């Protein structure tokens, strides 16, 4: 890892600043839902997304009175809808600007939400079995180690609680991103999995990405994404793949590159699990 990112806190600070900037720019994930959507949710007509497609009905049935943690998913979209539908919602996110999007909707539409800023890998501020559901849409590519995420989720979920998560198929991280290959319709493998911007890009590429203010990403293997949930103690109860409607990479045109999982906490914590 380059000297500028010797410490995890340096990486965290960089990605926090990157997402604060994206939120101020009103990126796709920083556009608050409308009042009409909130009113529909209050009438019981609502949906949220882990991927672009529809969430299976059985994954998140009636949320009235349920305690829900929206993990690394601020932006004024998921949490306000769930709160309007009757859930008791806590939004936990690294970016204060993203949290401000949820705060805006809450104030505009008179919703009760709890806002907490922090690292998704550290849920120590929450007590054991604090939540009935955790909603964790595509975001864990912004941290280098996701096993602490799964362990923390397991601890703070009540027995019978569900973790609904989504992430990229790691195949999207192996290709060379040079524009000329995409223009030629060529997918040229360059990187091995697990992938890391800070370890796998050249010094010049990393410096350029840093200068542009882009968040650094990590391509976690399926052993980390799915195996990690199982290791934490979860039982996998649902799985689906979804296509990218607006392909960013050539591989997106040939296969579904989003993965979503529904995991349930049935019993005691996995061996060695002691919280954060």
What is the DSSP track for the chain? --GGGSSHHHHHHHHHHHHHHHHHTT-GGG-PPPHHHHHHHHTT-----SSSSPPPGGGS---TT-EEEEET--SSSHHHHHHHTT-EEEEEES-HHHHHHHHHHHHHHT--EEEEE--TT--TTSPTT-EEEEEE-S-GGGSS--HHHHHHHHHHEEEEEEEEEEEE-GGGGSB---HHHHHHT---B--PSSEEHHHHS-HHHHHHHHHTTPPP-EE--HHHHHHHHHHHT-EEEEEEEE--SS-SSGGGGTS--EEEEEEE--SSPPTT----
Res. 244: pLDDT tops 80: yes
Q: Give strand pairing partners of 134.
A: 69, 163
The arithmetic mean of pLDDT across residues 10-38, rounded, is 94
In this predicted model, which residue has the larger pLDDT, 4 or 21?
21
- pTM given for the model: 0.92
Lowest mean pLDDT among 8-12, 71-75, 184-188, 230-234: 8-12
The arithmetic mean of pLDDT across residues 260-266, rounded, is 97
What average pLDDT is seen over the chain? 93
Q: Are 76 and 102 in contact (CB under 8 A)?
A: yes
Query: What is the structure's pLDDT at 168?
Result: 97
Query: What is the structure's pLDDT at 9?
Result: 76
The structure tokens listed for 37 are 């959507």
Nearest to 123 by CA among 141, 97, 146: 146
Distance CA 131, CA 122 (A): 15
Query: What is the structure's pLDDT at 182?
Result: 87
């Amino acid at each position: 890892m380059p000297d500028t990112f010797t410490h995890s806190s340096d990486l965290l600070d960089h990605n926090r600043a990157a997402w604060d900037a994206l939120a101020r720019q009103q990126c796709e994930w920083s556009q608050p839902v409308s009042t009409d959507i909130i009113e529909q949710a209050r009438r019981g007509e609502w949906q949220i997304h882990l991927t672009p497609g529809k969430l299976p009905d059985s994954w998140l049935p009636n949320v009235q009175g349920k305690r829900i943690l929206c993990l690394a998913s601020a932006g004024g979209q998921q949490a306000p809808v769930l709160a309007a539908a009757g859930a008791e919602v806590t939004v936990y996110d690294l970016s204060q600007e993203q949290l401000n999007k949820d705060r805006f909707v809450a104030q505009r539409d008179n919703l009760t939400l709890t806002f907490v800023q922090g690292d998704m890998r550290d849920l120590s501020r929450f007590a054991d079995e604090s939540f009935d559901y955790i909603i964790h849409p595509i975001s864990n590519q912004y941290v280098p180690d996701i096993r602490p995420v799964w362990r923390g989720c397991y601890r703070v979920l009540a027995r019978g609680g569900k973790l609904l998560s989504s992430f990229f198929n790691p195949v999207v991280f192996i290709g060379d991103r040079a524009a000329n290959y995409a223009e030629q319709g060529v997918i040229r493998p360059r990187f091995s999995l697990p992938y890391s911007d800070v370890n796998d890009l050249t010094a010049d590429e990393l410096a350029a990405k840093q200068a542009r203010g882009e968040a650094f990403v990590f391509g976690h293997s399926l052993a980390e994404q799915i195996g990690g949930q199982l290791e934490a103690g979860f039982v996998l109860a649902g799985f689906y793949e979804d296509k990218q409607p607006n392909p960013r990479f050539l591989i997106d045109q040939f296969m579904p590159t989003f993965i979503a999982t529904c995991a349930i906490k049935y019993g005691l914590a996995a061996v060695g699990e002691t919280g954060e």
